[in-house]
Amino acid sequence: MKTSSSSTSIMDMFEKGKVLKICAPMVRYSKLAFRSLVRKYNCDICFTPMIVAADFMRSVKARDSEFTTNERDRPLIVQFAAHDAQTLADAACVVAPFSDGVDLNCGCPQRWAMSAGYGACLINKPELVKDMVRHVRNQVDNPNYTASIKIRIHKDLKRTVDLCQKAESAGVSWITVHGRTAEERHQPVHYDAIKTIKDSVSVPVIANGDIKYLRDVESTHQLTGVDGVMAARGLLANPAMFAGYEDTPLECIWDWVDISIEQGTPFTCFHHHLIYMLERVSSQPERRVFNSLSSTSAVIDYLQNTYGSVHDLRT
């Protein structure tokens, strides 16, 4: 793993007047191989899956399994779950040579995370969030390294605005807003809330929630004025979404096969990603057969027989 010699800041990307397209942190899914894939299809910035900072600092084994990257895996944001400032800053210092910034997860609504003091419960602790951002800014010895937060909203939006303004005063680089409360799952995204937050701070704001097609990027920008959008499930279903494809193109599927073989992606992960990618382009009987496959060679044979090979694409 090479350290970065870059003197440029990820923040420069926000100054080009375009809407940045970002791959969300996804447990099990936004790992190096998938990041390598979406980068081929117009994704501007990628996040790692959420990593529990205390476990990461406690164990070399955890560090080696949770965080893998290479020199082409940039710009890269490492997302941590943490509930004390020094642990977060220590973890940031470890990953700083290999990444462009760290992000504090203040949005995960899962019960285990909330009960451990991580994730969305932090939106109710603005002083702690402020302290954690400040510690990272003060202790990472690189002025271009970013410290961002990813939040959900409160029912009382004034509390969310207060949180964001406190984070801004501590030096937060940007804020990603998932436009739902911690209790909401599949309800409509509150675009008006994201716009209010965007209008209340001077740092860049990223919108997250229900980005399924490239046209959603532009419509979200129009509704909220944000500086970027972040997609999760939309990219799982179609890793080429940001390049304007309505459904996963065959070339992207074969790119995933090549990347997975090259990087030694475990079969379960390799297969799960393809299940997501093929969901919108295959029939139910086809899905039933594909989902039951149990080896990489069986998957490759199936893809060739059902959809054709890369060679077919280029002739």
Q: Are 240 and 273 in contact (CB under 8 A)?
A: no
Phi, psi of 52 (to 5 degrees): -75, 115
Distance CA 86, CA 136 (A): 8
Angle, helices 284-291 vs 296-307, to 10°: value is 160
CATH of domain 10-243: 3.20.20.70
Q: Where are the domains of the chain?
A: 10-243, 250-312
pLDDT tens digit string along 128-186?
A: 999 999 999 999 999 999 999 999 999 999 999 999 999 999 999 999 999 999 999 88
pLDDT tens digit string along 188-225?
A: 999 999 999 999 999 999 999 999 999 999 999 999 99
Buried b (16+ CB within 10 A) or exposed e, 184-219: beeeebbbebbbbbbebbebbbbbbbbbebbebbee
End-to-end Cα, the chain, rounded Å: 38
Q: Are 73 and 32 in contact (CB under 8 A)?
A: yes
What was the pLDDT predicted at 18?
86
Q: How confident is the model at residue 4 (pLDDT cuts 50, 70, 90)?
A: very low
What was the pLDDT predicted at 106?
98
- What mean pLDDT comes out for the span 248-256? 96
- List binding-site positions for FMN: 25-27, 79, 178, 232-233
Residues acting as catalytic residues: 108
**Per-residue pLDDT at 272 exceeds 80:** yes
